[in-house]
Structure 1
Amino acid sequence: MSAVVETLPLFPLGTVLLPGASLPLHIFEPRYRQLTIDLVTGTLPGKQFGVVAVREGWSPDDGRDGLHDVGCTATLREVRRLPDGRFDIQTTGDRRFRLLDVDETAAPYLVANVEWVPDDEGDEESDLAPLAMAARAAHRRYCTTAWRQQGGGDGEMPAELTEEAASGVAGPELAHILAGDCLLPLSDRQELLEQTCPMERLQLIRRSMTREAVLLGELRAVWAPSVKFAVEHSLN
Structure 2
Amino acid sequence: MTDRLPLFPLNLVLYPGLVLPLNVFEERYRRLVRDLLALPEGERRFGVVALRSGREVGELAGDPVDAVFPVGCVAEVATIRPHADGRFDVVATGATRFRLLAVDDSGPYLVGEVEAMAEPKGDDAEVMTLAVSRAFAEYQRKLTGAQGRGPVELPELPDDAVVLSYLVAAAMVLDLSDKQSLLVAEDGTVRLRAELSLLRRENALLEHIRALPAVELLRQGTAPN
| TM-score bucket (shorter structure) | 0.7 to 0.9
Q: Distance in 1 between matches of 2:2 and 2:34?
A: 24
1:68: how far off? Answer: 0.5
Q: Distance in 2 between matches of 1:28 and 1:156?
A: 38
Partner SS, residue 93 of structure 2: strand
* 8 Å Cα contact 2:146/2:212 also seen in 1: no
* 8 Å Cα contact 1:131/1:199 also seen in 2: yes
Q: Is residue 235 from structure 1 mapped to residue 224 from structure 2 by the alignment?
A: yes
Runs of 5+ consecutive residues of structure 2 not aligned to the other structure:
216-221
* 8 Å Cα contact 1:59/1:66 also seen in 2: no
Partner SS, residue 119 of structure 1: coil
Deviations 1:153-182 (A, max 9, x none): 232334xxx162xxxx34322100122222
Q: Is residue 210 from structure 1 mapped to residue 211 from structure 2 by the alignment?
A: no
1:26: how far off? Answer: 0.8
Q: Distance in 2 between matches of 1:44 and 1:172?
A: 27
TM-score, structure 2 as length reference: 0.86
Q: Distance in 2 between matches of 1:155 and 1:24?
A: 26
What residue is the counterpart of 1:34 in the other structure? 31
Runs of 5+ consecutive residues of structure 1 not aligned to the other structure:
225-232
* 8 Å Cα contact 1:38/1:44 also seen in 2: no
Partner SS, residue 172 of structure 2: coil
Q: Is residue 50 from structure 1 mapped to residue 50 from structure 2 by the alignment?
A: no
Deviations 1:34-86 (A, max 9, x none): 11111122189711100000111233414211110100011111222122111
* 8 Å Cα contact 1:79/1:89 also seen in 2: yes
Aligned length: 214
Partner SS, residue 86 of structure 2: coil
Q: How does 1:111-122 map to 2 (within 5 A)?
A: 111-120=111-120
**Amino acid corresponding to residue 204 of structure 1 in structure 2:** A
RMSD over aligned CA atoms reads 2.4
Q: How does 1:19-30 map to 2 (within 5 A)?
A: 19-30=16-27
Q: Distance in 2 between matches of 1:91 and 1:75?
A: 5
Moved over 6 A (4+): none
Deviations 1:72-101 (A, max 9, x none): 011111222122111111111111001111
* More off after superposition, 64-73 vs 33-42: 33-42
* 8 Å Cα contact 1:39/1:45 also seen in 2: no
Q: How does 1:117-128 map to 2 (within 5 A)?
A: 117-120=117-120, 123=123, 127-128=124-125
1:33: how far off? Answer: 0.9
1:131: how far off? Answer: 0.9
Partner SS, residue 208 of structure 2: helix
What residue is the counterpart of 1:228 in the other structure? none
* More off after superposition, 44-53 vs 189-198: 44-53
Q: Is residue 191 from structure 1 mapped to residue 188 from structure 2 by the alignment?
A: no
Deviations 1:19-38 (A, max 9, x none): 11111111110111111111
* 8 Å Cα contact 2:22/2:91 also seen in 1: yes
Change (3 A) 1:203 1:155: same
Whose helix fraction is larger, Structure 1's or Structure 2's?
1
Partner SS, residue 171 of structure 2: coil
1:122: how far off? Answer: 5.7
Q: How does 1:65-144 map to 2 (within 5 A)?
A: 65-105=66-106, 107-120=107-120, 123=123, 127-144=124-141
Partner SS, residue 55 of structure 2: coil
What residue is the counterpart of 1:64 in the other structure? 65
TM-score, structure 1 as length reference: 0.82
